[in-house]
Structure 1
């Protein structure tokens, strides 16, 4: 197994790229790459920012947290902060991207993007949506070419959130039916999801989440199961094992070190849990993805 030794997953920081906390740009390429021929900037990493994409492509494949997402045609897509991602295939692409500090994203939009329990999927863009995005992108691009005064910073932030809002509106359409039929349960499930993302390394028991959210365990469990089809314990394990997979693939930490970093003192128990959830042992997973 050929693997560069490393102790941390590569992290791209928005404050290194721009002091504004907002970066916007156009891109276009007629070339293609796959496998080990991809440019360095497309190799696996994490971002501490949101990345929003409006793209038209013959075929682009994103690998996000070990799930392959294919984009074809004119589509909208986004990557959340801290998701491990890279693009193993990119073929004939043009479009624009917006990278932004999470703290600068409008609360309504940010809440929508963080509600997802599963990996987000691209959405086809309609003619009217594309027209609105193109117009907003032009204004944003023009504003960002100027010397950033205090007033202009506000303009840039408003335009960035307008661009994001157009994308958020399309994703919100996927949730409308669920909101109408399961609104109360959905709200509770989203509260749990937000807490899980923040506390999964220290809180492993469903009752801990119920206590923290001030719901009975049965009520929390029923709400999450109605909304997602799975109980609270399932999502706790999914979150923990996903982070373990990231560390197994992108670092040289051993299983004991990974278990400890995720809040498990008994690494043999952690190994059994990993095997149960992932369907293979931690070391087998590491070998499989580094063959």
Structure 2
């Protein structure tokens, strides 16, 4: 999916005899291993069985199903037998602001099997997007492509929302926990202590911890550590940074402390995790 990366939108319908296509010289080396993109990616599986690892969670996809992958997520896809998939990649700038906000609140997401009615609508939207994508000479092509791809994303998003919808009104503790998670996603490299998040939310540390624990079953410190370690795992898995460089990237001046924290949370040293995950 490289043809239209300069416009920030790419959509293709691809058929492979197997994934990854190891003997295809056009496939860059990183595509064969765990990687992540700077785009929001949607995969609609039309044919075949696909095995996809997203942030160290293993999923099996069957037709007709869809998955959304957030830009931060590390993933790798494999399959035996013929696979037909429609893949859409889109940057923040081209994504409707409301859809972007909802997707970020929903991520991470599992593959979703599509019921007949939403599948029909999504298939029609896919056909429109693919047809517009081919119209290279159309002076309004990018605008039409952007609008049609956002319509497709809205249909996918609506289907996810139907499956994940909870009670319409959140309790105060649920609202506080939601706000904390949003802050954590933006600040985990700089905010390592519960008190920092409590201060930003104008709450006492004890009350923030009570709300988060009542809502999720885990403390604020647990969530902070898990988010940091998730990013560390991602970097160990798909980057060539040293453990010391990863510690610095994640805001740790004390490299030995980071190493001890990683081992405490995962049960493995950082180097042992890297070797195991790449095996």
Q: CA deviation at 1:280?
A: 1.5
Question: What's the CA shift string for 1:48-72, capped at 9, x where partnerless?
Answer: 0001121134321111122212112
1:260 to 248, 256, 265: 248
Is contact 2:18–2:78 with CA below 8 Å preserved after alignment?
no
Distance (whole Å) between structure 1 residues aligned to residue 170 and residue 164 of structure 2: 10
2:268 is equivalent to residue 280 of structure 1: yes
Distance 1:266 1:162, change over 3 A: same
Structure 2 matches for 1:1-291, cutoff 5 A?
A: 17-29=4-16, 31-33=17-19, 40=29, 41-89=31-79, 91-116=81-106, 119-146=108-135, 147-149=137-139, 151-177=140-166, 179-180=167-168, 182=170, 184-291=172-279
Q: Could you tell me how far 1:116 is from its partner in structure 2?
A: 4.0
Q: Distance in 1 between matches of 2:175 and 2:203?
A: 12
SS at match of 2:170: helix
TM-score, scaled relative to structure 1 = 0.83
Tell me the number of residue pairs that the alignment of Structure 1 and Structure 2 aligns: 274
- TM-score, with structure 2 as normaliser: 0.86
Q: How many angstroms apart in 1 are the aligned matches of 2:199 and 2:80?
A: 46
5+ residue gaps, structure 2, are none
**Cα distance, 1:113–1:220 mapped onto 2, change above 3 Å:** farther
Q: CA deviation at 1:106?
A: 2.1
Q: Alpha carbons of 1:254 and 1:155: their partners in 2 closer, same or farther (altered >3 Å)?
A: closer
Matched residue of 2:165: which SS?
A: helix
Give the Cα separation in 1 of the matches to 2:40 and 2:269: 32
How big is the alpha-carbon RMSD for the aligned residues of Structure 1 and Structure 2?
2.6
Q: Secondary structure at the match of 2:58?
A: strand
Quote the Cα distance in structure 1 between the aligned partners of 2:198 and 2:32.
40
Q: Distance in 2 between matches of 1:154 and 1:20?
A: 10
- Do the aligned partners of residues 168 and 211 (structure 1) sit closer, same or farther apart at CA in structure 2, a change above 3 Å counting? same
- Structure 1 runs of 4+ aligned residues shifted over 6 Å read 34-38
Give a deviation string over 1:202-257, Cα, whole Å, max 9, x none: 11111111222333334433443344332221121111111212222334433333
Aligned-pair CA distance for 1:42: 3.9
Match of 2:191, SS? coil
Greater mean alpha carbon deviation, residues 164-173 or residues 262-271: 262-271
Q: What per-residue deviation string (whole Å, max 9, x for no partner) do you get for residues 79-99 of structure 1?
A: 101211111335432231211
